[in-house]
Structure 1
Amino acid sequence: MFNALNGTGGGGQLDPTAGNNANTALYSTFVVFGILGGAIVNLCGVRWTIFGSGFTYALYSGSYIYLNHTGKSSFTIAAGAILGIGAGILWAAQGMIMVSYPREEQKGHYIAVFWIIFNLGGMLGGILPFAINYHSDKGSLVDGVYIAFVVLECLGAFLGLALAPPSKVTRDDGSSVVLVKYTNLGKETLEIIKLFINPLMLALLPMCFTSNFFYTYQFDNINGALFNVRTRGFNNIFYWGFQMVGSYAISFLLDYSGLGRKTRGYVAFAIVLVFFNAIWGGSLALHNKYPHGLTLENRIDFKESSRASGPIILYILCGVGDALYQTFAYWIIGALSNDNQLLARYIGFYKGMQSFGAAIAWQLDAKNVAPKNQLVANWVLFAISVPSMLYVVWSIKEHSENQNVRARAGSDLEKYTGDEADNKTDTAAAVN
């Protein structure tokens, strides 16, 4: 739902300033809580962290109703900052599930399954503004769209409680998905500090920083600046829909047993490299055609096939490129370890540094940095990330080393917090 809302440009508002500032606040707190997210999930468990953090999304969507009626952006900006806290925790929990539950040869498939579920929400969120605003093009989304987002996001938060405790989940080969180890606040703090001296994490920094930077340009300076409001919703149906196609397609390569894991990494890297350079080349051509965007009265409608087809196809390909990049990034992280607690921290680091880049990107747009300069910045940042991305692929081993887990005394298991706290018998069996 959040993706759908932001994909309309400016959070669905005619003036994107409030949405840009809210996203800057969001990603600023996301930086901190993305990094801390893995530790919080390890301490509190996935069910309660997903349940609690899900409501921060509903608060953010609801804040736009207040903005519609008052024109005051302060509540929306504050809701954005609160959402950054919730999102950092939620994404760490989601990422831990996605990359630690599957066997090594299934990680690409599991990432794709998540990406399909994830983008079904984006597609639905695209249908809502398209349908509700079909006969009303005021430039901003009406209250009904935001209300629908709030209802769906609250439902999603409650569904977090329906997840099975990780200690009760087993793979299809009978092995436990969780390597249960005693953890506490002091241990998690130390492990987070270690992330910033880990050579592989430092090498991932450019890739992390770049991975959400491009959303601002695509949402605000392509979809938001060139299309009317109903067409923005129409475009998002396909932007998020083709993300599912892109992620599912590359998952076959990432899990292909006929090639070694490092070779698969090199081939996927080459695909991402070529695809993104093509996207930015097409974006530059589109910018040169509409260097100042379009006025509200002259924006493109999806029914104008002669004007709409090229820009819409480019925007859809941007969605495919995002899916390829994110799926590849998660696969790289998942290839570094099979330890669920370590992967929760790695994912938290990825999301935190990703949010650092996003916060800067949204503020650049809020400060009215020229769209062409934003485009160039995106292309340069991608180029900078290429060597370090290649280094991490080169560092991947054919098989991740399983972490040795030693059963703790019963008193330690009594202290273990999170979803597994109520399943001490199960966790002891899993350790054994």
Structure 2
Amino acid sequence: MAEKIPQDASSEEAVPVKRLWYRTTLFNAFVIGAVGFIAPGLWNAMNQLGAGGAQRPYLVNAANALVFGILGFTCIFGAPLANKIGLSWTLFFGAVGYPIYSAGLYLNNRYGVEWLVLVGAVTCGVSAGLFWASEGAVALGYPEPGKRGRYLNIWLWFRTGGPLVGGAIVLALNNDAKAKKKGKVSYTTYLVFTALQTLGAPIALLLSPPEKVQRSDGSKVIIQAEKTFKGELEALWEVCTRKDVLLLLPIFWAAYFNQYSGNFQTYYFGVRARALIGFTTSFGTLLSSQLMSTLLDYKGIPVKKRIVLGFWYAVALHIVAWVYAWVVQERYTANPPALDWEDKGFVEGYFVLLLWEFSRQGLQNWLYYLVSTKTDNISELTRFTGILRGQESFGQAVSYGLNTREWVGGRVPLVVNTILLVLAVYPTWLVVRDHVPVEDRNKENSITPNGELESDVEKTANTSAIILPEEKGKFASAATNVGRDTL
């Protein structure tokens, strides 16, 4: 028998409403997860091959620089746009550009055509920015506060599942003896990926609008939005110019700046070795994410202390990864190898890539957690995550541009990456040191006079438009009880 959803407490008569399976938070979590699996997940699988599986990395790196440059802008400005056209259509447009990019790689791989790679980079950049803007709102805003972490983990498994399945496909199509040497992957790989990615856009249309989502506890999804597009832009600018956000810009850039890993693979590994690396490093990424999330979600430690411990853990991971990478790179500079998975030196080079991915994923999880503890206002949180992902994208664009040429021994990209990471530590620590998590602020508010607390809520309600109209008392309850978790 279908569960009944309680009506608004302010209603004179509560009319039972049947819960529809396609309106539940679980179904919508699977929708956003499926699109993440097909679109960015399979895109990541291709790029984990090193330069999208190409024989030489320079064209693909130029295309990816274009992808992330455009993505940075569309991600930052995606939140205001999503509030105007709706999350379902934003997610739809966030998926349509990916198969065009994959089709471009196919034509380049088989026939040497270059123009569609660049066209695909533009469409993919626009789509990716819209995807991340809508994904943040759905992943953080749709679930019940008490189940938010559970549903975010569903999304995480889907997103990581894309590179895992994609890596398995690549490995299955590129594992014969001919693939031992350096070169490019089979063109049939791109046909499979393009076909799968065309499914992302229609799946996105299955997403329910926020006002129609039916939570198991009967509560409503509330997404605050400014009344005008100008108001949204002003709110976005206010967040962008905050002191703590400006101090975090170096670490936002440094988090995903290392795109030399793709060049590293094409320089020193054969095709089937790259396929194996792309498949297996996804397990390391998932493990790193789970370890950091376990630390940050551990209820036996105060939130502020978890953030501090997570920060130093991320620093330690990067020290290990980059010291080891420098040692191996110096050996490869002196004697460049061409490694297959059967070769004796394969494991040594493989661990460079594994440690880079492991440390990077841990840092990104920590950054999302830090940002999520700055506010319990979902609309503002979407702006924060848009800025985080947008600035990461700008860093990736510059890094891909840096890797469009062949640097002797890879020293220049390694130096730039290392300097950026070192410079990011101190300003990030200043933010961590002075940060007061929203949970602690809410505890302080809970012991203040009721009149003062109501005034704060009224101020928020008066400056924002609520997508789902609610009674003032119910909004006050929802605004103070919105949870947060890692993205």
1:366 to partner: Cα distance: 0.5
Deviation per CA, 1:100-149: give whole Å up to 9, x if none. 45677876665554333211101111112211111242711222111111
Residue 132 (1) aligns with residue 173 (2)? yes
Instruction: Quote the residue 1:339 is aligned against.
Output: 377
Change (3 A) 1:121 1:265: same
Of the structure 1 ranges 308-317 and 105-114, higher mean CA displacement relative to structure 2 is found in 105-114
1:181 to partner: Cα distance: 4.1
Deviation per CA, 1:328-350: give whole Å up to 9, x if none. 11111111112221112111111
Contact 1:30/1:85, CA 8 A, preserved across alignment? yes
Contact 1:104/1:335, CA 8 A, preserved across alignment? no
Residue 76 (1) aligns with residue 76 (2)? no
Instruction: Quote the residue 1:320 is aligned against.
Output: 358
Change (3 A) 1:149 1:162: same
1:373 to partner: Cα distance: 1.6
Instruction: Quote the residue 1:283 is aligned against.
Output: 325
Q: Distance in 1 between matches of 2:359 and 2:390?
A: 21
Give runs of aligned pairs for residues 114-133 of structure 1, distance below 5 A: 114-133=155-174
Residue 187 (1) aligns with residue 227 (2)? no
1:243 to partner: Cα distance: 1.0
Instruction: Quote the residue 2:65 is aligned against.
Output: 24
Contact 2:225/2:232, CA 8 A, preserved across alignment? no
Give runs of aligned pairs for residues 92-103 of structure 1, distance below 5 A: 92-101=133-142
1:31 to partner: Cα distance: 2.1
With the length of structure 2 as denominator, give the TM-score of the two structures: 0.78
Higher RCO (CA 8 Å, separation ≥ 6 residues): 1
Contact 1:407/1:428, CA 8 A, preserved across alignment? no
Change (3 A) 1:387 1:106: farther
How many residues are paired up? 415
Gaps of 5+ in 1: 414-419
Instruction: Quote the residue 1:310 is aligned against.
Output: 348
Correspondence for 2:411 among 366, 372, 376: 372
Q: Distance in 1 between matches of 2:254 and 2:295?
A: 23
Residue 205 (1) aligns with residue 243 (2)? no
Gaps of 5+ in 2: 1-41, 443-455, 477-487
CA RMSD of aligned residues (A): 2.8
Change (3 A) 1:207 1:132: same
1:36 to partner: Cα distance: 0.7
Instruction: Quote the residue 1:156 is aligned against.
Output: 200
Instruction: Quote the residue 2:16 is aligned against.
Output: none
Deviation per CA, 1:295-318: give whole Å up to 9, x if none. xxx6211122x2112222332222
Contact 1:43/1:183, CA 8 A, preserved across alignment? no
Contact 1:31/1:353, CA 8 A, preserved across alignment? yes
Of the structure 1 ranges 120-129 and 36-45, higher mean CA displacement relative to structure 2 is found in 36-45
1:290 to partner: Cα distance: 0.5
Correspondence for 1:248 among 290, 309, 334: 290
Instruction: Quote the residue 1:273 is aligned against.
Output: 315
Correspondence for 1:391 among 430, 443, 450: 430
1:71 to partner: Cα distance: 1.8
Q: Distance in 1 between matches of 2:131 and 2:280?
A: 25
Contact 2:93/2:201, CA 8 A, preserved across alignment? yes
Q: Distance in 1 between matches of 2:419 and 2:285?
A: 23
Letter in 2 for 1:79: G
Instruction: Quote the residue 1:416 is aligned against.
Output: none
Contact 1:62/1:147, CA 8 A, preserved across alignment? yes
Q: Distance in 2 between matches of 1:324 and 1:209?
A: 15
Q: Distance in 2 between matches of 1:33 and 1:160?
A: 18
Q: Distance in 2 between matches of 1:102 and 1:112?
A: 12
Q: Distance in 1 between matches of 2:217 and 2:307?
A: 25
Contact 1:195/1:201, CA 8 A, preserved across alignment? yes
1:186 to partner: Cα distance: 1.3
Letter in 2 for 1:283: A
Contact 1:13/1:140, CA 8 A, preserved across alignment? yes
Q: Distance in 2 between matches of 1:272 and 1:287?
A: 22
Contact 2:164/2:279, CA 8 A, preserved across alignment? yes
Q: Percent identity?
A: 24
